């Protein structure tokens, strides 16, 4: 029981790290697609988000693989949470209509 209680902060930290990582990815995609220089947005965001996540995992683990595993589990849980909160992808209004295929063509 004591071991489980001591791993709870690692799980919470993993959820926070994941929320920042995947929330930052969502924000980057929204800003980057309308930017004049999207490569700067995407590459800069990748470097910042990845370095933050790796540093967070390192600090949370404290050299113990159990804490790292629980933190990574929280990170994955945050992915599902952020994906659910972000909602379904929205098709652009100026996208061409999808053509309907036919079962047999004569």
**Tens of pLDDT, residue by residue, the chain (106 residues):** 677 788 999 999 999 999 999 999 999 998 888 889 989 999 999 999 999 999 999 999 999 999 999 999 999 999 999 988 887 766 666 656 666 666 665 5
Amino acid 92: pLDDT: 61
What pLDDT is attached to residue 95? 58
**DSSP calls for 26-74:** HHHHHHHTTSS-HHHHHHHHHHHHHHHHHHHHHHHHTT-HHHHHHHHHH
pLDDT at 51: 97
Running DSSP on this structure, what letter comes out for residue 103? S
pLDDT at 103: 66
State the sign of the Cα–Cα–Cα–Cα dihedral 28, 29, 30, 31. positive
Between the alpha carbon of residue 69 and those of residues 9, 20, 43, 51, 59, the distances in Å are 12, 18, 27, 18, 13
The answer to whether 81 and 19 have CB atoms below 8 angstroms apart is: yes
Closest CA to 16 of 63, 98, 95, 81: 81
Domain extents for the chain? 2-86
């Amino acid at each position: 029981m004591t071991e489980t209680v001591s791993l709870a902060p690692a799980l919470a930290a993993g959820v926070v790290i994941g929320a920042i990582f995947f929330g930052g990815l969502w924000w980057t995609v929204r800003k980057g697609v309308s930017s004049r220089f999207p490569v700067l947005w995407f590459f800069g965001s990748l470097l910042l988000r990845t370095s933050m996540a790796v540093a967070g995992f390192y600090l949370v683990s404290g050299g113990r693989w159990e804490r790292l595993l629980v933190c990574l589990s929280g990170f994955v849980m945050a992915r599902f949470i952020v994906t659910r909160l972000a909602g379904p992808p929205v098709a652009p209004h100026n996208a061409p209509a999808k053509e309907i295929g036919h079962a047999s063509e004569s």
